[in-house]
Amino acid sequence: MPKIKTTPPLSTSLSRRSFLKNAAVGAAAFSIVPRFVLGGNGFIAPSDTLYIAGIGVGGKGESDLTGFAKNPKAKIAFLCDVDDRQAATSRGNFPGAKYYKDFRVMLDKEGKGIDAVSVSTPDHMHAAAAMAAIERKKHVYVQKPLTHDIYEARMLAEAAKKYKVVTQMGNQFGSADHVRTAKEWVDAGLIGDVTRVDTWTNRPVWPQGIPTPTGTFDVPKELDWDLWLGTAKQMDYNPAYLPFNWRGWWEFGTGALGDMACHIMDAPFRILPIDFPTEVECSTTTAWEGFFKEANYKDACPASSIIHLKFPRKDGKGDIKFTWMDGGLLPERPEGLLPGERMGDTNGGYIFYGTKGTLMGNYAIPPVLLPTSRMKEVTLPSPSIPRIPGAQDGHYTEWVDACFLGYGKKQLSSPFEFAGPVTEAVLMGNLAIRSYQLQKVAANGNISYPGRQKLLWDAKNMKITNFDEANAFVKRDYRAPWSL
Amino acid sequence: MDHSLSKSVSRRTFLRNAGVATAFTIVPRFVIGGKGFRAPSDTLYVAGIGAGGKGESDIAHFAKSGKAQISFLCDVDQRRAATSVKDFPNAKFYKDYREMLDKEQKHIDAVSVSTPDHNHAIQAMAAMQLGKHVYVQKPLTHDIYEARMLTEAAKKYKVVTQMGNQGSSGDGVRQLQEWYNAGLIGDVHTVYCWTNRPIWPQGIPWPSQKAEIPKELDWDLWLGTAPYKDYVEKLVPFNWRGWWDYGTGALGDMACHIIEPPFKVLGLGYPEAVECSVGSVYVDEFKRGYFPESCPPSSHIIMTFPERQGKSKIKLHWMDGGIQPERLDELGPNEKMGDGANGATFIGTKGKMMCGTYGLAPSLLPTSRNNEVSIPQSIKRVPGGAEGHYAQWVEACLAGYGKMEVSSPFDIAGPLTESILMGNLAIRSYDLRKPREGGKPDQFDYPGRFIKLLWDGPSMKITNFDAANQFVKRDYRSGWKV
């Protein structure tokens, strides 16, 4: 398909958007001018409404939009989805919102009427959609994981700074009270210096480690398959991928890590002095297509995996050994957990092992010190970190408020400067898995797996230094004409 | 079937008595000689139950010792027995081991059992009750209870026993033992073991399509203690090991080889606790596959062994199905951990060591340490190493009970097998489900998950989750008992 000509991202006219920012930066004293003051027929009040365009408006996109709309200042002005079926509910919810199929067309045509963009597409389209919005200086809210590739996460984080837009990743529990409570306890020294973190999830709760779907199918009339594919490689439509299962296929999704790690690894990232890992290794449950015949389902994310990451503590107090397990696998139960006590919750959990104690929790449950009897023995610090109004539900409305105030004016829970490194760490797990899946067939037919080793990461240069093939997974090639 | 001990002075009892009266040791055949006379003391008359696959190679190894004669072969599947029947043309062939033991007991000194796991115990027990020495393939048994019974029977009937984990006769485990005894790695608190098994599909539905029973196979005898099921394709000769009714999964296949070195070196006994998780199987979005007949595609087992004579509590991790423990920091980037696909690592207060399957390639860590230390050999090696495992048993049988040390007698192999089967008990408890109270028909609770099971070893009982105890001892199909 031909590349769509896009307008220059920065408008020179005094758009509503730039007015909005200027108002926020300059005239903070009188704050928001309510619509009725400026009023008048046909006049669109610039400062009392955040005009939001939603890209990907079904599923999580649907609930994100209703989350924003709870803030009376937000107006869902445009909807965009490549699949009319997915868009149906949101279109019903926001009948005044003009509907597009192609976000490029929408941004081109409606750029001036959009203040902020919400991206909730399959993972492989996050970066392309978010970057297009950021380059037009739209504030963005992007579902987790921020991106499909490490490189994309780095680019978005840099772009957010460059274009000075307000950003938030959709890991809403980053706004929850629980993680703030846990941080207060760790900061108070209740578990000493953390040296090890175990995390896990029950995901995937859909089939992974399976053969690539085959067969020929008619594309449903409601779906623009070419737009859905977007940056992904050309392939025939297959119903196996839509609307949900794309997440178990590398071409589109990011597996169990992509689904849950941004939630579960949020706490360690928010609490501990870590950003980029230096090492990663993994192993996965092997898929067997027959007796003694290992399957090579390289398109599929694995049924379960174990990832080990090493993070140097930024305070110089050594390294943190970080483990992730998914697909049903669980880390060892902590010594302090009694035989009948539940470890984490249904979705998984995190355990911090410190020099002076152990802390367990998950994003949607309060943290506990282990053994749990310790909760009665220690004096827990009183809350010192400001809570987000509405906690996890406030994640959406806070972003709306921050967009009004303008870049740099209001601290959000998951701006890209935070969400970018979290996502990169999550995707390091996937890089390790995909390296692990790499098969080499020798001339004599012998199969080897050269990527089944520890990988060393040069985060600054975004490069695996001891196994070059792994670098193919830092940044994928987009299908023409797509670019970041 | 009731087997009673023969009252007559059989060759076997002669053999045992000969062994006890070691003064005149073995009388070579040619001294006694004479037509039709079978020298009792220089030849071990072995009957093989399960004569294909590993049974075939076990039998060939006994014969290679030069002191054993394969006198009887027994297999429920003539196709499986074909090679052994050809290799030992004079060995009389039976389909039913009970019939063979009944009719030929006076001509059998020792029995080798290499059947599917679910029949090990009944066959070994029947042989021991007749006072026959036994060699039983790993894992010793299918159930914990059976392992305990065999261990006790070996003592009661004073028979020479050996489990077929031949690596236990290798030099590697002895080298590890010497390093550990010398204090090179201090007090061990953590052990990691792993295997690439299963290298066949597990976590799959039972192939419900009934198939024609091959004419060479006695399906009823093959089923033995297992509940009756219609014959299905490809279950024999190999696939049975991934199904709980017959096999013991990845643990059963490899743990006797991989956990043996730490078990032996550290002097472990019964674990006191076990926890597990398994790689889940999803058949559709949010729809978990529930295949309780099938062993899981991967599992992570953690067993706790109690403090022993001033030695720390030990956490022993087992991982299978492709998942592996974290690489040790002491390993160079290009150094293999274990043998890559399988291995064991020992983490002590003063150092670490590792080995591959069978205790092969023992190494201190970092590997440079191997060149820096020199511990004098203090433990006798088995002649031929792992390959000598078979001859060692043959010789010990000839020498008689209690006369010669073997590498894997049931008093070691029994508790080792029990520990391995504790992993399976945990996995099967993990899979237990019951309808959720007040839930929809497809909603279930899994009460055996997310808890730690506490084990009372002497009483063979899980003390905090009674439902798990059904996996200590299964019910045999009627007509069979241990």
Q: Please check whether residues B85 and B111 belong to one and the same domain.
A: yes
Model pLDDT, residue A291: 87
**For residue A459, pLDDT beyond 60:** yes
Model pLDDT, residue A6: 42
Q: Where residue A1 falls among pLDDT bands split at 50, 70, 90?
A: very low
Write the pLDDT tens digit of every residue in B64-96: 999 999 999 999 999 999 999 999 999 999 999
Arithmetic mean of pLDDT over chain B:
92
Write the pLDDT tens digit of every residue in B3-18: 433 334 444 444 544 4
Strands (DSSP E) contained in A182-243 are: 194-201
Model pLDDT, residue A47: 66
Q: Please check whether residues B245 and B269 belong to one and the same domain.
A: yes
A296 touches chain B (CB under 8 A): no
**For residue B441, pLDDT beyond 70:** yes
Pairwise CA distance, residues A308 & A304, whole Å? 14
Q: Please check whether residues B19 and B114 belong to one and the same domain.
A: yes
Arithmetic mean of pLDDT over chain A:
92
**For residue A30, pLDDT beyond 70:** no
Is B12 domain-assigned? yes
- Lowest mean pLDDT across A53-57, A189-193, B63-67, B233-237: B233-237
Residue type at A263 in one-letter notation: H
Is B477 domain-assigned? no
Q: Do B200 and A206 touch (CB under 8 A)?
A: no
Over residues B408-431, the mean pLDDT reads: 98
Model pLDDT, residue B40: 56
Pairwise CA distance, residues B411 & B160, whole Å? 11
Residues 6+ apart with CB under 8 A from A309: A277, A279, A280, A321, A322, A323, A324, A425, A428, A429
Is B386 domain-assigned? no
What is the chain B residue with the closest CA to A206? Answer: B285
Q: Where residue A219 falls among pLDDT bands split at 50, 70, 90?
A: very high
Q: Do B333 and A308 touch (CB under 8 A)?
A: no
Pairwise CA distance, residues A35 & A38, whole Å? 6
Host domain of residue B158: 6-166+391-416
Which tokens belong to A12? 């020179």
Q: Where residue B28 falls among pLDDT bands split at 50, 70, 90?
A: very low
Q: Please check whether residues B334 and B216 belong to one and the same domain.
A: yes
Q: Please check whether residues B133 and B180 belong to one and the same domain.
A: no
Q: Do A332 and B285 touch (CB under 8 A)?
A: no
**Residues of chain B that touch chain A, judged by Cβ-Cβ distance less than 8 Å:** 196, 198-202, 238-239, 273, 275, 277-286, 288, 297-298, 300, 302, 315, 317, 319, 321-324, 326-327, 333-334, 340, 450-454, 464
Q: Are the beta carbons of A300 and B336 closer than 8 angstroms?
A: no
Quote the radius of gyration of chain B (alpha carbons, Å): 23
Q: Please check whether residues B125 and B264 belong to one and the same domain.
A: no
Q: Please check whether residues B232 and B159 belong to one and the same domain.
A: no
Q: Where residue A380 falls among pLDDT bands split at 50, 70, 90?
A: very high
Q: Are the beta carbons of A115 and A135 closer than 8 angstroms?
A: no
Q: Where residue B208 falls among pLDDT bands split at 50, 70, 90?
A: confident
What residues 338-377 of chain A have any CB closer than 8 A to a CB of chain B? 339-343
Is B479 domain-assigned? no
**For residue A35, pLDDT beyond 90:** no
A469 touches chain B (CB under 8 A): no
Q: Do A339 and B273 touch (CB under 8 A)?
A: yes
Q: What is the CATH number of the domain that holds B156?
A: 3.40.50.720
Model pLDDT, residue B482: 85
**For residue A16, pLDDT beyond 50:** no
Chain B hits for A465, CB-CB cut-off 8 Å, are none
Q: Where residue B234 falls among pLDDT bands split at 50, 70, 90?
A: confident
Model pLDDT, residue A412: 98
Q: Which of A166, A244, A218 is nearest to A400 (CA)?
A: A166
Q: Which of A145, A136, A120, A142 is nearest to A57 (CA)?
A: A120
Domain count across chain B: 2
Q: Please check whether residues B119 and B183 belong to one and the same domain.
A: no
B322 → closest Cβ in A204, A206, A284: A284
Q: What is the CATH number of the domain that holds B310?
A: 3.30.360.10
**For residue A273, pLDDT beyond 80:** yes
Write the pLDDT tens digit of every residue in B242-293: 999 999 999 999 999 999 999 999 999 999 999 999 999 999 999 999 999 9
Q: Please check whether residues B86 and B64 belong to one and the same domain.
A: yes
Q: Please check whether residues B110 and B84 belong to one and the same domain.
A: yes
A245 → closest Cβ in B280, B285, B319: B285
CA–CA min distance A65, chain B (Å):
24
Model pLDDT, residue B135: 98
Write the pLDDT tens digit of every residue in B287-336: 999 999 999 999 999 999 999 989 999 999 999 999 999 999 999 877 99
Q: Please check whether residues B301 and B442 belong to one and the same domain.
A: yes
Q: Please check whether residues B11 and B89 belong to one and the same domain.
A: yes
Q: Are the beta carbons of B67 and B42 closer than 8 angstroms?
A: yes
Compute CA distances B172 → B161, B264, B363, whole Å: 22, 12, 9
What residues 92-131 of chain A have any CB closer than 8 A to a CB of chain B? none
Write the pLDDT tens digit of every residue in A36-75: 444 444 444 456 899 999 999 999 999 999 999 999 999 9
Is B385 domain-assigned? no
Q: Do A330 and B297 touch (CB under 8 A)?
A: no
pLDDT above 70 coverage of chain A, percent: 90
Pairwise CA distance, residues B203 & B293, whole Å? 9
**What is the distance, to the nearest Å, from the Cα of residue B151 to the centroid of all Cα atoms in its chain?**
12
Is B300 domain-assigned? yes
Angle at A272 between CA A270 and CA A273, to 5 degrees: 105
Q: Which of A437, A429, A209, A434 is nearest to A303 (CA)?
A: A209
Is B1 domain-assigned? no
